[in-house]
Structure 1
């Protein structure tokens, strides 16, 4: 409780000089749609990103993640719907608000002849409010060489330069497209540390990924996108604690399943000869009572993995064109 109160005070202080309320979403997408001819890349998507939270945008390649991000940043015009950035919905006025945004593109393109340091100085001249002390902190954490031409760097080291330019002005909102691409496990952990620290001081992070593991590690919430549609938004704390289990029971004779089918906690029943596997979510008391009536010879239990919780959204509804 003390930690949550302290975090709330930090968030309020961070937004004290901002025209918007600390309770107002930093980013609000309302019924956002982007079409290319007859192809719907983003379909009626609505999502809020609040101050001080890290939100993952999870989906396979081609699901519409990058198109959503480009539309949010004004690189693409939405076909319909609305983007509210720091409470501002007017596209022209959003231009001045973008100085509070840090962005890492998925198709990262940097000036190859420049060094990282020269790139940051150039961006500063263009109006970025660079925190040079923080630049050195980021470079040290990422073990990034800022004094060699960017074109001479490996993919992972170029990614570090891209991350530093996205974070070097301590943005109130960081929008990162596949930020861990090319990073080794140690550098991924360093990035997570920087993002957690940013959220703790009141900034927000919205990043796309197709890697459930990293979303699970760092996010407060995750939006799940499939074929351009936001099909779910999961609280990660709740998702990690979903009381879902697989029970596999072996019976001497064919069991009666009608009683199980009436239980709201039993989501799925799979029968293989004398083995029956039940997917059970929530309270298991009624399930165990019904199971005891059937007198199974053997019973094994396995907790449902978080990855399986998310993958259930992709196993159904296989119709429709892939975006």
Structure 2
């Protein structure tokens, strides 16, 4: 993700400096991985043969997914290629920062589960001999695998929203779900800035976002906009009061893209704050769990030593 952000940012800077796509592509990515450099060289050769940038990059979904290719193709026709890559760089950097929070939360949950599991064995076995038992380490392996899968689902776009919705709706979890849903909606900003008509932009975003409820809402909104309603009216009941008011203001002032950007900034900060709050709750619990394990293990070891002494 960090590598993608660096590439998008460098490419946007070269394009905005007045260089052609082919010149920019030949100069960018010098500090990227060899694999990405090879992809860029191959894409440059295809552009020399007459292909457009989106078509040249399309065979490499590991670096350029369908959403990115759609935006590049649209911005090539609208002349907003530099701005599009600049926005993609910002989005990739934000995503990278968010993934770091998810990994920190993952480590805290692992420490909590490890501590609780070991404490359970310690209390039921009455000693530290369980550390030599295969069943204990099998349990640890299952916990690690389960935690890795759960964290990947939480951090991924494909399942994160559904996983969060399945959890008990504590205020903190509910706030995370809400912030993510609003961020999915604000992805409408980029195609609109590329000059894509609102109905086509809704279709692009609907096929891109993993939030099924929001995607269904955008499908309904498309039909209502065709009937003459505004975007904020067609999404009534699916937006937070703040987001609804900001969208109405953007529509009234003719600056819907700019207002979507402000909504995105607000909920990005809100999501990051809530993830840090969750991190702040889980980290001390992990330390307490491991500390309790060490304390009980020490007490058990001292008791065993005292019992082994003569007399």
Q: Which structure: greater helix fraction?
A: 2
By the TM > 0.5 criterion, same fold?
A: no
Under a length normalisation based on structure 2, what TM-score does the superposition of the two structures give?
0.24
Q: Which structure: greater strand fraction?
A: 1
Under a length normalisation based on structure 1, what TM-score does the superposition of the two structures give?
0.23
Which structure is larger by alpha-carbon Rg, 1 or 2?
2
